[in-house]
Amino acid sequence: MPEDRQFIPLNIAVLTVSDTRTELDDVSGQTLATGLIQSGHKLYQKKIVADSIYQIRAVVSPWIADAEVNAILITGGTGVTGRDGTPEAVTPLLDKVLDGFGEVFRMISYQDIKSSTMQSRAVAGVANATYLFCVPGSANACRTAWEGLIKDQLDYRTRPCNLVQLMPRLLEK
């Protein structure tokens, strides 16, 4: 019989990418923060940054370098407009891309928003042993991503496997 796994709380940072949101009306960032706290994780930091590749990197890069941060949830900037630059900002920072995240996110989203899901450029990966998840800026998309994918993969108890159990090995060469 497999050993019982105990929940391991992670330090998770949340970043909202938006040219218009403030702490007062950042429903998407708050949706992610609430979800991770209710799941037993710790909100390491929460910030809002303009949709600028360099401003996004200026916030995300120190989190990646900080050994205390286990995961980063980014909402916004994943669409196709001229200002949407989250994937372009984050992808070059990744050591490995988790292609399945975007694929499964769009599959799950299709149930709610049908073909509009093809506009999503949701992406995830790992950088310096830190998991990053970039999801669309709507609160519904954040809920879908957290409840349908991220929550279980950041829970050490999830079987048959999860991302937490891989954490000690992420920096292996």
Q: How high is the pLDDT of residue 25?
A: 96
Q: How high is the pLDDT of residue 163?
A: 97
Alpha carbon 34 to chain centroid distance? Answer: 14
Token pair listed for 171 = 């920096």
CATH number of the domain enclosing 52? 3.40.980.10
Report the domain count for the chain. 1
| Domain range enclosing 82 | 11-166
Neighbouring C-beta atoms of residue 49, cutoff 10 Å:
23
Task: Identify the helix (H) or strand (E) that includes residue 42.
Answer: strand 42-49
Report yes or no on 87 lying in a domain: yes
- Low-confidence spans in the chain with pLDDT less than 70: 1-3
